[in-house]
């Protein structure tokens, strides 16, 4: 057993399934995938790329729900076990003071992060092109909207779960207005969750499964070996983009410094529900639950832009894997 230290509350009811006999992968898929089918709601075309957190002894989350109109929206949801979900039939209507910012054009790829006293939500928010919307909730019923973090175009805004040197901190990925064929991960900080600056470059695409663009996934987990960042990487094949995911360890005080980064992917689209759907060949992680007692890690990811899936590992095994298989 590793003597890795990591920051995670006790989560005895974390969704979990033991590594299958004979499996030597660092990550293994839930045998009941997908956990959320595309048609869970009468109005849903697809439910994927979604964020889940522990909440009051159970689980809550913000879900990307593309409606049958193909409007991209966010819905809240609750679950006793993290596997069977009840989603609100109505999309989230953020409450805000400024109608200019509060107009909902579209929202997708949410992340949820508990910091200090509330659950912050970040998402790709339509405001004359995609940028990072920021809001918060305490009860997953009422959601308040703050200012957008950046000018368009930006995607994959992922908050750190605590202030770093006194500042809120966010990974993000400047992009373009379309299906961006490039993209590096940057780090930005803020004194107040409104003004973002002191931008630092974190990492770029390097080749193979992560050759076209990279973007942060779940909220990073603090460990004694650095921030554990799971991220997606994109390869451009002759048949379009292929979204896989890997992981990196970032310096605790200066997270733009990448210490280790996986050369092989952790998971690439290989099952039917990852390879077949509205956008084939996509495995897109947006959330991870971690049990502080056992080190169990449950990663939520979208399959083929259609359904929501789970994969499992142990945080110490993942950190060991990153260090042993780094670029
Ligand atoms: C990205 C985002 C994700 C999506 C991915 C693959 O640009 O739109 O929501 O999963 O493309 O289509």
Element (H, E) at 62: strand 58-67
Q: How far is the CA of 4 from the centre of ligand 1 (A)?
A: 33
Q: Whose CA is nearest to atom 1 of ligand 1?
A: 179
Residue 242 pLDDT greater than 60, yes or no: yes
282 CA closest ligand 1 atom index = 6
Structure tokens at 326: 């780094």
Cα separation, 110 vs 120, whole angstroms: 10
pLDDT digits (tens, 9 = 90+) for 166-224: 999 999 999 999 999 999 999 999 999 999 999 999 999 999 999 999 999 999 999 99
Could you please report the per-residue DSSP string of 213-245?
EEEE-SPPEEETTEEEEEEEEEEEETTEEEEEE
Q: What is the distance in A from the centroid of ligand 1 to the CA of 49?
A: 8
98 CB burial (10 A radius; 0-12, 13-18, 19+): exposed
1 burial level (CB within 10 Å; 0-12, 13-18, 19+) = exposed
CA of 3 to the centre of ligand 1 (A): 37
Give the pLDDT of residue 32. Answer: 98
β-sheet with 143-145: strand ranges across:
107-115, 118-126, 130-137, 143-145
CA 279 to ligand 1: nearest atom: 12
* CB of 176 closer than 6 angstroms to any ligand 1 atom: no
Is the confidence at residue 270, as pLDDT, over 70?
Answer: yes
Predicted confidence (pLDDT) per residue in 78-135, tens digit: 999 999 999 999 999 999 989 999 999 999 999 999 999 999 999 999 999 999 999 9
Q: What is the pLDDT of residues 37-84, one digit of tens each?
A: 999 999 999 999 999 999 999 999 999 999 999 999 999 999 999 999
Judged by DSSP in three states, 54 sits in: strand
Cα separation, 133 vs 121, whole angstroms:
8
* CB 253 within 8 Å of CB 222: no
Residue 1 in this model has a pLDDT that exceeds 80: no
Return the bridge partners of 111, or none: 122
Distance between CA atoms of 66 and 124, rounded to whole angstroms? 13
Cβ–ligand 1 contact at 277 (below 6 Å): no
Q: Are 132 and 125 in contact (CB under 8 A)?
A: yes
Q: Of all protein residues, whose CA lies closest to atom 10 belonging to ligand 1?
A: 305
- The stretch 136-152 carries a mean pLDDT of 98
Ligand 1: does its nearest atom lie under 6 Å from the Cβ of 302? Answer: yes
* Percentage of the residues of the chain whose pLDDT score is greater than 70: 100
Q: pTM surpassing 0.95?
A: yes
pLDDT for 297 beyond 70? yes
Atom of ligand 1 nearest to the CA of 108: 9
User: Closest residue (by CA) to atom 4 of ligand 1?
Assistant: 305
How far is ligand 1, taken at its centre, from the CA of residue 284, in Å? 8
Q: Is the dihedral of CA 143, 148, 149, 154 positive or negative?
A: positive
C-alpha span between 283 and 265 (Å, rounded): 11
- Ligand 1 centroid to residue 126 C-alpha, Å: 14
- For residue 150, pLDDT over 70 is answered with yes
Judged by DSSP in three states, 232 sits in strand
- The verdict on the CB of residue 108 being under 6 Å from ligand 1 is yes
């Amino acid at each position: 057993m590793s003597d890795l230290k990591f920051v995670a509350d006790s989560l005895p009811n974390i969704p979990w399934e033991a590594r299958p006999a004979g499996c030597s992968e660092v990550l293994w898929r839930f045998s009941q995938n997908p956990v959320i089918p595309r048609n869970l709601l009468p109005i849903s075309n697809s439910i994927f790329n979604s964020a889940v957190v522990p909440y009051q002894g159970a689980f809550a989350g913000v879900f990307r729900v593309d409606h049958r109109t193909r409007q991209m929206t966010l819905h809240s949801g609750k679950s006793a076990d993290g596997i069977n979900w009840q989603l609100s039939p109505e999309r989230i209507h953020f409450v805000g003071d400024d109608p200019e910012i509060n107009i909902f054009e579209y929202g997708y790829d949410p992340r949820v992060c508990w910091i200090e006293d509330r659950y912050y939500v970040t998402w790709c928010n339509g405001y004359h092109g995609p940028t990072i919307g920021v809001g918060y909730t305490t009860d997953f019923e009422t959601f308040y909207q703050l200012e957008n973090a950046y000018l368009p175009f930006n995607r994959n805004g992922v908050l750190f779960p605590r202030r770093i040197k006194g500042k809120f901190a966010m990974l993000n990925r400047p992009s373009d207005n379309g299906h961006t064929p490039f993209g590096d991960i940057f780090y930005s900080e803020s004194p107040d969750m409104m003004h973002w600056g002191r931008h630092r470059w974190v990492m770029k695409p390097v080749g193979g499964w992560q050759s076209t663009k990279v973007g942060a996934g779940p909220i990073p987990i603090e460990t004694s070996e650095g921030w554990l960042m799971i991220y997606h990487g994109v390869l451009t094949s002759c048949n379009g983009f292929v979204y896989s995911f890997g992981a990196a360890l970032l310096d605790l005080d200066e997270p733009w410094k990448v210490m280790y980064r996986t050369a092989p992917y952790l998971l690439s689209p290989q099952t039917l529900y990852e390879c077949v759907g509205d956008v084939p060949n996509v495995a897109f992680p947006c959330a991870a639950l971690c049990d502080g007692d056992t080190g169990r890690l449950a990663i939520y990811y979208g399959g083929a832009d259609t359904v929501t899936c789970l994969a499992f590992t142990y945080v110490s095994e993942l950190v060991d894997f990153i260090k042993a298989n780094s670029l």
